[in-house]
Amino acid sequence: MSSTSESPEPGRLAAFGWSPAVDAAFAAFRADGFELARVAVAFGATFRVIAHDGEMLADLSGRLRHQADARRDLPAVGDWIALKRSTIDGGRSTIQGIVPRTSVFSRKVAGETTAEQIVAANVTIAFLMMSLDHDFNPRRLERYLAMTWQSGARPVVLLNKADVADALDDKLHEMTGVSSGVPVHVISARDGRGMEALEPYLTAGQTIAVLGSSGVGKSTLINRLVGEELLRTQEVRASDSRGRHTTTHRELVPLPGGAVLVDTPGMRELQLWSADAGLEETFDDIAALAAGCFFGDCTHETEPRCAVKAAVADGRLAAERLENYHKLGREQDMLAARQDGLAQQLEKKKLRAQFRAIRRHSQSGPKGRS
CATH homologous superfamily of domain 106-263? P-loop containing nucleotide triphosphate hydrolases (3.40.50.300)
Q: Classify domain 283-361 by CATH number.
A: 1.10.40.50
Please, what CATH class does the domain formed by 11-98 belong to? mainly beta
Largest CA distance in the chain: 94
| Cα(175)–Cα(129) distance, integer angstroms | 12
How far apart, in Å, are the Cα atoms of 278 and each of 136, 275, 354? Answer: 22, 5, 38
- What is the average pLDDT value for the chain, to the nearest integer? 82
- Name the residue with higher pLDDT: 322 or 6: 322
pTM for the model stands at 0.75
User: Where in the chain are the domains?
Assistant: 11-98, 106-263, 283-361
Residues 6+ apart with CB under 8 A from 244: 214, 234
| Predicted confidence (pLDDT) per residue in 160-185, tens digit | 999 888 889 999 999 998 998 899 99
| Predicted confidence (pLDDT) per residue in 99-151, tens digit | 999 999 887 766 666 677 788 899 999 999 999 987 788 988 998 898 888 88
pLDDT > 70: percent of the chain? 77
CA nearest 118: which of 165, 68, 166, 182? 68
